[in-house]
Structure 1
Amino acid sequence: MAIDPKKLRGCLGHFTTGVTVITCRAEDGEPHGATVNAFTAVSLDPPLVLVSVDRRSRLCGLIDSRPFTVNVLEASQKELALHFAGKPTQEVRWAPDSACGTPQLDGTLAHIACNPWRTYDGGDHVLFLGEVQEFLIHEGRPLLFHTGKFHHLGGDHEPLFWDESADGPGGVAFLSGSTAGST
């Protein structure tokens, strides 16, 4: 049975993701970026993350052997996501470069600066593993992507916290926000 790519994309879109902009330096030294929601943590030792990039994109050729930064977008940064998705609508504000020399966006939830580690064939995408060299965390709420639309957590959202003491086979436990941190 043949899989219809449009229907598969619609199905996969039901998995809610965060929104990132992957940034690097182009050949001329200018900053370049692209909106990517296919991002995940891979390993803590060594510290690795993965981004999946469309083979046809300019970014794919640029980060093949260059350091890059994963900029995790904040809920108010929908226009920035659209800007780096090819619909420029605003002036881009840059933060100071990472220790790797990669450009970083201002006002994001997090920056994760990486050196290239490995590259894998991913069909019509290329899977880039980056070794984390530096990371910064900022306050805010995430910009989310679900079924082809941007979303954000509502103001009444109460997070659940992972109970690390239960970490292990069959030991998954979550604590509500009101009891997190208490013993």
Structure 2
Amino acid sequence: MAIDPRELRRCLGHFATGVTVVTCEGNEVEPHGATVNAFTAVSLDPPLVLVSLDRRSRVCGLVEQRPFTVNVLEAGQRDLALHFAGSPNQDVDWIADGGSGAPALDGALAHIACIPWRHHDGGDHVLYLGQIEAFRIHEGRPLLFHAGKFHHLGDGHDPLPWDDSADSPQGQTWIPQGLLR
């Protein structure tokens, strides 16, 4: 059975994600960036993250050989996400150094500064592992992506308690406190 790429994309879009922009120095004067929702933490030792970049994007060939920053976007940065997704719509406020020598976006919820660690073939994408050199966290609410649309948590969201005992040296089993009733 052949898989319809449009229907597969629609199906995969039901996994809600945060929205990031991967930025790095370009070959010209301006830094470059690409909106990415395929981003994940990989390892704490060494500290690694993974981003999946479309082979056709300008950033794809650049991050293989130079530092890059993963900018986690804030709920009010929808237009910035669109800007780096191929619909330029604004002037961009840059932070000259996100921590590894790569530029970062002003106003993001988090900046994760990386140096290239490894890359792997991912079909029409390339999977880049970056070793984290520095990071910054800022207050705010995340910009989310689900079913082809941007979303935000809003003021009425009710977060579930988190039991982080799995991160303890004893290695206890993680069970969300909200499920223990």
The runs of at least 4 aligned residues of structure 1 exceeding 3 Å deviation read 166-169
2: CA distance, partners of 1:99 / 1:172: 32
Aligned-residue offset at 1:15: 0.1
AA aligned to 2:50 is L
Matched length? 175
Aligned-residue offset at 1:163: 0.8
AA aligned to 1:173 is I
- Backbone CA RMSD of aligned residues: 1.4
AA aligned to 1:138 is H
Unaligned stretches of 5+ residues in structure 2: none
Q: Deviations over 1:68-108 (max 9, x none)?
A: 00000000000000011111111111124123210000001
Counterparts of 1:143-154 in structure 2 under 5 Å? 143-154=143-154
1:18 and 2:8 correspond: no
Q: Deviations over 1:14-37 (max 9, x none)?
A: 000000000000123531111011
Q: Which residue of 2 aligns with 1:135?
A: 135
Bigger helix fraction = 2
AA aligned to 1:161 is P
Q: Deviations over 1:149-171 (max 9, x none)?
A: 000002111212321235657x3
Q: Which residue of 2 aligns with 1:173?
A: 175
AA aligned to 1:82 is L
Q: Which residue of 2 aligns with 1:58?
A: 58
Instruction: State the TM-score, normalized to the length of structure 2.
Output: 0.92
Unaligned stretches of 5+ residues in structure 1: 177-183
Q: Which residue of 2 aligns with 1:100?
A: 100
Q: Which residue of 2 aligns with 1:71?
A: 71
Q: Which residue of 2 aligns with 1:4?
A: 4
AA aligned to 2:22 is I
2: CA distance, partners of 1:82 / 1:166: 37
SS at match of 2:23: strand
AA aligned to 2:63 is I
Instruction: State the TM-score, normalized to the length of structure 1.
Output: 0.91
Identity of aligned residues (%): 70
